[in-house]
Amino acid sequence: MNQKLLIDTAELASALQHFADERDWQQFHTARNLMLALTGEVGELAEIFQWQTDAQVLTMRQDDPARYQHLQEEVADVLLYLVRLASVMEIDINRAVSDKIAKNAIKYPAT
Amino acid sequence: MNQKLLIDTAELASALQHFADERDWQQFHTARNLMLALTGEVGELAEIFQWQTDAQVLTMRQDDPARYQHLQEEVADVLLYLVRLASVMEIDINRAVSDKIAKNAIKYPAT
Amino acid sequence: MNQKLLIDTAELASALQHFADERDWQQFHTARNLMLALTGEVGELAEIFQWQTDAQVLTMRQDDPARYQHLQEEVADVLLYLVRLASVMEIDINRAVSDKIAKNAIKYPAT
Amino acid sequence: MNQKLLIDTAELASALQHFADERDWQQFHTARNLMLALTGEVGELAEIFQWQTDAQVLTMRQDDPARYQHLQEEVADVLLYLVRLASVMEIDINRAVSDKIAKNAIKYPAT
């Protein structure tokens, strides 16, 4: 696995910062505010699954396209706030993810 | 902003699926299970910030390196479960994120 | 502190079960479904605070009654799903809370 | 349903404030801090269920008493932070819950 290719969020983080700058949102984008916003989006993601059976989830894409579309948007929202949070905390997500995968591989050896 | 470069999680999703396959974890990686695991990791992320002032958060990297290291790992954990959840739901995160950014740009015009 | 008076959720749990029975919701009220619903409500609660300063939060009741009303409803929603979750898991919340307070008093001695 | 008996958290809220006062924790117990702490506890609650099937959850009390004990403690933790959050926001939980149940009864008529 080429760890350099794992994820490239540098440009995404930069685009989100530009987006916030243009709207004068920097004042709101403290780490703690973004953490609460992330919690909010995770709640919206959870709501999509709350009354669904595993069988319904498996066929959501085909049988419930509106819900599936909503799912895609909530996944994106969680990712956007996570990348923004990492950005204001000066975290290199690519390296953080690579390090965590390496750590997990040691913690959970392949059977 | 070159949207093709925004994020490349295809290889990451593939690596995580391989990781799960090697450990016979596919049986556990239903979308609803991963949603609960994601919630757990978001909770661990929130705990890092819960008793910190904004001032302490701003200097965490310098003044509290152990907490900052922990933060990096929790950010990675949230991302890993989110990418895994998107993967089992057959979501193209790159496209979902690009679409959401485009939608946000319309919803919130630059001032 | 009279621990018997701490909280009386027996009647509340019973009322919520009756409410679910009348609507044929028992089938949906598995512990895992209620856990996801609880996560959703906690997300809605977090959203109320996400862009607020501590100063704004302190005067919310006076200065932003609509937000304060919303806050009251979300607090209630979180409690209702928590009591319902405890109920389907046959947990005596009153005893669980009393036990946890006693445990906390030992873990964190008064200074 | 006797709404006066639904829940009595006044004494619990008072006991928790006394507990915080004795430890000089008032300074930490802002609403936003408690919201993050609540999120952390909800994450710990979710982790209990994340890899469990519905069948395993149903027999947890008998088959996995250690997990069931942990579950009771996490339910208590979520409730304690929720009551504390409501307390610092000057919310009468009893009334909030009664109001929400009345609202739900109108929103979802019994079938």
111 residues of chain C, pLDDT tens digit each: 444 445 567 788 888 999 999 999 999 999 999 999 999 999 999 999 999 999 999 999 999 999 999 999 999 999 999 999 999 999 998 889 989 999 999 999 987
Strands (DSSP E) contained in chain D are none
What is the C-alpha to C-alpha distance for residues D84 and D13, in angstroms, rounded to an integer? 6
Considering just the CA atoms, what is the radius of gyration of chain C in Å? 17
How far is C-alpha D38 from the chain's CA centre?
Answer: 9
Which chains touch D (3+ CB pairs under 8 A)? A, B, C
Residue in B closest to D54 by C-alpha: B33
DSSP D35: H
pLDDT under 70: residue ranges of chain B: 1-8
Structure token digits, residue C23: 């609507």
Q: Do B6 and A12 touch (CB under 8 A)?
A: yes
Structure token digits, residue C88: 């389907």
The CATH classification number of B28-93 equals 1.10.287.1080
What is the C-alpha to C-alpha distance for residues D92 and D86, in angstroms, rounded to an integer? 7
The third-level CATH classification (topology) of the domain covering C31-90 is Helix Hairpins (1.10.287)
C 57-86 residues inside an 8 A Cβ radius of D:
57, 60-61, 68, 71-73, 75-80, 82, 85-86
Looking at residue C81, what is its pLDDT?
97
What is the C-alpha to C-alpha distance for residues D95 and B90, in angstroms, rounded to an integer? 44
Q: Give the CATH class of A30-87.
A: mainly alpha
What is the C-alpha to C-alpha distance for residues C2 and C17, in angstroms, rounded to an integer? 28
DSSP A25: -
What is the C-alpha to C-alpha distance for residues A50 and D89, in angstroms, rounded to an integer? 29
Structure token digits, residue C74: 């979300």
Q: Do D36 and B42 touch (CB under 8 A)?
A: no
Give the distance from residue C24's alpha carbon to the nearest chain A alpha carbon, in angstroms. Answer: 13
Domain positions in chain C? 31-90
Which of D58-92 are b and which e, b meaning 16 or more Cβ less than 10 Å from the residue's Cβ? eebbeebeebbebbbbbbbbbbbbbbbbbbbbebe
Q: Do D42 and B37 touch (CB under 8 A)?
A: no
Q: How confident is the model at residue A63 (pLDDT cuts 50, 70, 90)?
A: very high
Q: How confident is the model at residue D5 (pLDDT cuts 50, 70, 90)?
A: very low
Q: How confident is the model at residue D73 (pLDDT cuts 50, 70, 90)?
A: very high
Please check whether residue C27 touches D, CB under 8 A: no
